[in-house]
Structure 1
Amino acid sequence: MKSLFIILFSFAIVSCGPQKTDSFKAKEIYKSENLIITQISENSFIHTSYKQTNDFGNVPCNGLVVKNNNETIVFDTPINDKSSEELIQWINNHLHAKINAVIPTHFHDDSIGGLQAFHNHNIPSYAYSRTTELAKENNFVIPKNSFSDSVVLKVGNEEVTAKFFGEGHTKDNAVGYFPAENILFGGCLLKELEAGKGYLGDANVPAWSETVEKVKQAYPDVKIVVPGHGDYGNGKLLDYTIKLFKTQ
């Protein structure tokens, strides 16, 4: 009886003790005047730069770096070429990784503003075809490669996807997905929790909720969601954005 108690007690300690989970304690691993990099999983990093605006003040703008086997892919550039050059150097010198591609998810400068720095390093860029058209119309730096619906790129032994689901924040807002860690980069299509609607000058507000519904259905296993501005979270950001733009 005593030995049975010891076995049961030992099992209880094992069962209630710390278990290996998918949780990762995010940490800021780089900070300068122009750029902050926060590691949010084993192989994913948010890069944050700042855009000075008249209506919303000094706005933090997020992008994402995903890594596998000393290769990376970057979603959205920092706000300008100076900050983008800083990010490129950080990836090369601190991650010791090659940048396979950069993917701007829409044509605004918080997504494409630092593209020339990537081109200066002969890093391929990929964007939804409408993003390329809008970049041309606005005399911005033009992505080198276009996709009509989606693109799948290799990063090490893994893949990332970028796909256009419909209009919302802009007519061209695509999203990125890193299946290896179930991370969605929603860019400016998605809002942080409790955020307002933000800049609507190029938006299709009536279509916004339906577009995000399609994203939600496409990625049912998503664990981490990164918006274009503000704090990252989980699938609740999808639900919040859907509700925020739902038309009665």
Structure 2
Amino acid sequence: MRTIILTAVFIFSITNIFAQAEEPKLKIVPLTGDFYIYTTYNIYEKSQVPANGMYLVTNNGVVMFDTPWDTTQFQPLLDSIKSRHNKPVVMAFATHWHSDKTAGLEYYRQQGIKTYTTVLTDELSKKNNKKRAEFLMTKDTVFSVGQYSFETYYPGEGHTTDNIVIWFKKEKILYGGCLIKGADAESLGYLGDANVTAYASTLINVQKKCRNPKFIIIAHSDWNNINSLKHSIMMAKELKKDQQ
């Protein structure tokens, strides 16, 4: 009997290990309408961490917001988009200079995709030996692609000195990147390049600019809870108090 139990435990353990190993490296789920969330993974502090990006399918091609963190998924993401929608990616934006956002910029540029960051992001990318975009934004900019319009918005320093968000005013979709944390987050995450004094004010600027969002997409947590921005503001205020 003991042998049977040990064998069963062994088989369960092996099955569980293989199940974990077969976890997909790229996930794509629909958000609403022509908006989709894609997720890739990388190792941070010995743990596998998800990184969410977004893409929008327009009549004039697909627009990508942030690039995969996992460098093996640059082309699989393009292939998946082409297979699902029969449209090419025509533009790619990175919302700050860290590798979980910029890693694929050079690769996508080589594929003929127009890549964008702010001038500040480009300066920091160059300084920190990160991948850089072809086109640089000098100010907040409204883009119209096919039937959609969106605005890049720099609210101030927070997670990094250069972090921007993307605002779809008509659809009420806020793409917050790493600046905004999940509603269940216990902290503001990595703060090695952050401005902890300005963080709360920066988030409040986002709240004022992007009123009543229906969706808030965040980089490393569950994006289904709309309270993520309010929760992030609360954490940033507490962090500022702790620093005083």
| Offset at residue 143 of structure 1 (A) | 0.8
**1:243 paired residue number:** 234
- CA displacement at 1:221 relative to structure 2: 3.2
2-structure distance, mates of 1:122, 1:114:
13
Percentage of identical aligned residues? 32
User: Residue 117 of structure 1: CA displacement?
Assistant: 2.3
Which residue among 153, 161, 165 is the counterpart of 2:143?
Answer: 153
* Residue ranges of structure 1 left out of the alignment (5+ in a row): 1-30
Unpaired runs of at least 5, structure 2: 1-21
1:211 is matched with which residue? 202
2: CA distance, partners of 1:232 / 1:80 = 20
TM-score relative to the length of structure 1: 0.82
**How do 1:149-228 residues align onto structure 2 when only pairs under 5 Å count?**
149-195=139-185, 196-228=187-219
Look up the SS of the partner of 1:205 in the other structure: coil
Secondary structure in 2 matching 1:206? coil
C-alpha distance in 2 between matches for 1:159 and 1:86: 27
Q: Is the 8 A contact 1:70 1:96 kept in 2?
A: no
Which residue does the alignment assign to 1:69? 59
User: Which residue in 1 is equivalent to 2:223?
Assistant: 232
Distance verdict in 2 for CA 1:238–1:110, change over 3 Å: same
Question: 2:183, 2:226 within 8 Å by CA — same for their partners in 1?
Answer: no
The answer to whether the 8 A contact 2:203-2:232 is kept is yes
Cα 1:149–1:166 change in 2 (3 A) is same
Letter matched to residue 79 of structure 1? W
| Root-mean-square deviation (Å) | 1.7
Paired residues, number:
217
Is this contact kept in 2: 1:37–1:47, CA < 8 A?
yes
Checking the alignment, whether the CA contact within 8 Å between 1:63 and 1:77 is kept in structure 2 is yes
Structure 1 counterpart of 2:202, one-letter code: T
User: 2:45 maps to which residue?
Assistant: 54
| Superposition misfits of 4+ residues, deviation over 3 angstroms | none
Query: 2:94 is matched with which residue?
Result: 104
Q: Give the alignment of 1:30-41 within 5 angstroms.
A: 33-41=24-32
SS of residue paired to 1:169: coil
1:8 — aligned with what?
A: none
**Deviation of residue 106 (structure 1)?**
0.5
